Structure 1
Amino acid sequence: MKTTTRFDAAIHKLYTAFHSNQLNPICCKQCAVGNILDNTDSWKHVSDHHGSLNLNYVGQVHQSMGRKFNGYTPIELLQIEKAFLEACGLETPLHHRHKKPSNSTDKNVLFQGLSAVITLLCKFDNIPNVMDYKRVFKSSEMAITKK
């Protein structure tokens, strides 16, 4: 399967973060976007609320200029972050009163978030969803029936 450079880089960073316990939905530097952007939190300045899809003035300027951060536009970064947070069980935009899981760094919780992000990244780059396990079984069934 042919993928894009930005997809490969993002997947590598997210995989590494997941397996080295550096993925945390509450931390702007260790969330999905924070890891994709090399553990920086500068991306949070494109929106006024963590987990929102609304670009603020700074975000709108970057978006209109065609600016990309490690290959992703500001609106794509917000979509990635929202997908990650919500799949991890957090209510968006983040607020101390909003719903959140009892253990946001539980591997099962993080895997759900990671799966949602990878699905979205595939969609962005028109790549078949690598997280769709049904395709693996379908390929195996087709190979068995051809024998």
Structure 2
Amino acid sequence: MKSSERLEQAIKKLYVAFHNDTLHPECCKSCAVGNICDTSESWKYLTDTHGSLELNYIGTVHQRFGRKMNGYAPKELLQIEAVFLEGCGYSVPLIRNSKRPENPTDKEVLFNGLSATVAFLCQLDGISNVMDYSKLFEFENNKPKHELTFA
């Protein structure tokens, strides 16, 4: 199944941010959604609390008008960010006493957050998780069920 333009763009932006060390879960410009939205903080005005799934008045208006930011509806952006934060080890929404990872920019912490995020982005587009390689290890009669191919 072919992936959508929005998914490909989102994954590219997250990939670049991860490898350029410009991904930070607690910064609205450098978090998953901040990067998807071209390092803009405009998405943060859709909710009152970072990591919340609740749209505020502004977010609700944008959602009802069908507006999108880089292909994603306001509600989807909040979901993406919550998945990223939870994948990094946060409890959401982020408030003063929320559970946080000891080192939020640790590559393993960020990788876990991005893995969860990419899986969710694929789910939003109704395609299989592009990071799931488990099929490569399925076998039948001691032979692989699927061929390893490179596009």
Deviations 1:74-130 (A, max 9, x none): 000000000000110111111122110110000000000000110000001111111
Whichever residue aligns with residue 12 of structure 2, its letter is H
Distance 1:40 1:97 in 2: 26
Whichever residue aligns with residue 60 of structure 2, its letter is Q
Which residue of structure 2 aligns with residue 28 of structure 1?
Answer: 28
Which residue of structure 1 aligns with residue 121 of structure 2?
Answer: 121
Whichever residue aligns with residue 84 of structure 2, its letter is F
Relative to structure 2, which stretch is displaced further, 98-107 or 134-143?
Answer: 134-143
Which residue of structure 2 aligns with residue 43 of structure 1?
Answer: 43
> Offset of 1:137 from its aligned partner?
2.1
Distance 1:52 1:33 in 2: 13
The answer to which structure has the higher helix fraction is 1
Asked if 1:85 corresponds to 2:54, the answer is no
Alpha-carbon distance change, 25 to 143 in structure 1, aligned in 2, over 3 angstroms: closer
Asked if 1:11 corresponds to 2:11, the answer is yes
Whichever residue aligns with residue 34 of structure 1, its letter is G
Corresponding residue SS for 1:29: coil
Asked if 1:142 corresponds to 2:137, the answer is no
User: Contact 2:47/2:55 (CA < 8 Å) preserved in 1?
Assistant: yes
User: Contact 2:28/2:44 (CA < 8 Å) preserved in 1?
Assistant: yes
Matches within 5 A, 1:93-112: 93-112=93-112
> Offset of 1:143 from its aligned partner?
4.8
Whichever residue aligns with residue 87 of structure 1, its letter is G
Distance 1:88 1:100 in 2: 8
Distance 2:85 2:136 in 1: 27
Distance 2:119 2:98 in 1: 25
Corresponding residue SS for 2:144: helix
**Where do 4+ consecutive residues of structure 1 move more than 3 Å?**
none
Relative to structure 2, which stretch is displaced further, 100-109 or 123-132?
Answer: 123-132
